[in-house]
């Protein structure tokens, strides 16, 4: 009799859903035991076990961008691939690099650079591919455009806010915004390194255009002279300068 009662109790306990857990739907895999079974809560997908605080409450992770908002954001960013850098256009450089080309090689600079005490290389790579992202909307505003620094910052800030809303807000959008603001303010060791990479990528590209197209781009080297903030920036700038030969 005791064994029968134990079996009844165990059977009943399996049918109960604890009141603090959401109801889960199982995919139609019951009839196909070899298929994976996916669980999803009624209100939101749960890919990880719930995180519980000391009082037993469940903390909900920050929302990730939806597929729709992510693709909308990425489609807008495609303009970075097709917008040429304005400085090269003004100097009639043939087939000038795009904004995305520039940011990509800056990311590579962060990837291949030596470790620097107090500098997070991963953060530098992220900052490199974010620092000009607002130009997907406002374009490449250079000093020769006649736009003040304050007005340039205002336009880019508004563009960034729009892009973050397009992404759906949340953790990823805030990370992008914070990286951009930190770079603009030159407010961290990583920002100083990435600002040097910005100048380094430009003069390296200028060197390559001089060698490939036989043009003199001295003004780009002059615009960065004495403005490098970090040891790595100064060392790489000297190396680039040592490889330069002015066209005859």
CB atoms within 10 A of CB 200: 23
Instruction: Output the pTM of the full model.
Output: 0.73
Span 171-198, mean pLDDT? Answer: 97
Q: What is the pLDDT of residues 203-223, one digit of tens each?
A: 999 999 999 999 999 999 999
CA distance 151 to 155: 6
Burial class (CB in 10 A: 0-12, 13-18, 19+), 12: exposed
Q: What is the pLDDT of residues 90-135, one digit of tens each?
A: 999 999 999 999 999 999 999 999 999 999 999 999 999 999 999 9
CA distance 104 to 90: 22
pLDDT of residue 210: 96
Q: Which residues make Cβ contacts (< 8 Å) with residue 135, sequence separation at least 6?
A: 80, 83, 99, 141, 156, 159
Pick 97 or 11 by higher pLDDT.
97
Q: What is the pLDDT of residues 156-177, one digit of tens each?
A: 999 999 999 999 999 999 999 9
Burial class (CB in 10 A: 0-12, 13-18, 19+), 202: buried
With a pLDDT cut of 90, the percent of the chain lying above it is 70
pLDDT of residue 242: 95
Main-chain phi, psi angles of 33, to 5 degrees:
-65, -20
> What are the tokens at 55?
């009082």
Span 31-42, mean pLDDT? Answer: 33
pLDDT of residue 52: 52
pLDDT of residue 59: 57
DSSP 98: B
Closest listed residue to residue 132, CA positions, set 180, 97, 89: 180
Task: Answer whether residue 1 shows pLDDT above 60.
Answer: no
How many residues belong to the chain? 248
């Amino acid at each position: 009799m005791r064994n029968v009662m134990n079996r009844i109790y165990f059977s009943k306990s399996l049918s109960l859903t604890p009141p603090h857990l959401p109801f889960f739907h199982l995919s139609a895999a019951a009839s196909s035991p070899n298929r994976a079974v996916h669980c999803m809560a009624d209100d939101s997908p749960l890919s990880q076990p719930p995180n519980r605080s000391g009082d037993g409450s469940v903390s909900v992770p920050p929302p990730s961008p939806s597929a729709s908002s992510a693709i909308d954001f990425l489609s807008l960013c495609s303009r970075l691939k097709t917008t040429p850098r304005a400085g090269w256009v003004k100097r009639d450089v043939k087939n000038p690099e795009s904004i995305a080309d520039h940011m990509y090689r800056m990311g590579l600079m962060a990837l291949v650079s030596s470790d620097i005490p107090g500098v997070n290389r991963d953060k530098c790579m992220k900052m490199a591919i974010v620092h000009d992202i607002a130009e997907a909307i406002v374009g490449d505003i250079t000093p020769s455009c006649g736009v003040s620094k304050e007005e340039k910052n205002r336009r880019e800030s508004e563009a960034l806010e729009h892009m973050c809303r397009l992404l759906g807000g949340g953790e990823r959008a805030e990370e992008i915004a914070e990286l951009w603001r930190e770079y603009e303010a030159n407010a961290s060791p990583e920002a100083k390194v990435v600002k040097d990479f910005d100048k380094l990528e430009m003069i390296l590209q200028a060197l390559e255009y001089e060698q490939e197209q036989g043009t003199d781009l001295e003004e780009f080297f002059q615009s960065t002279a004495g403005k490098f903030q970090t040891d790595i920036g100064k060392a790489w700038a000297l190396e680039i300068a040592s490889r330069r030969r002015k066209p005859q």
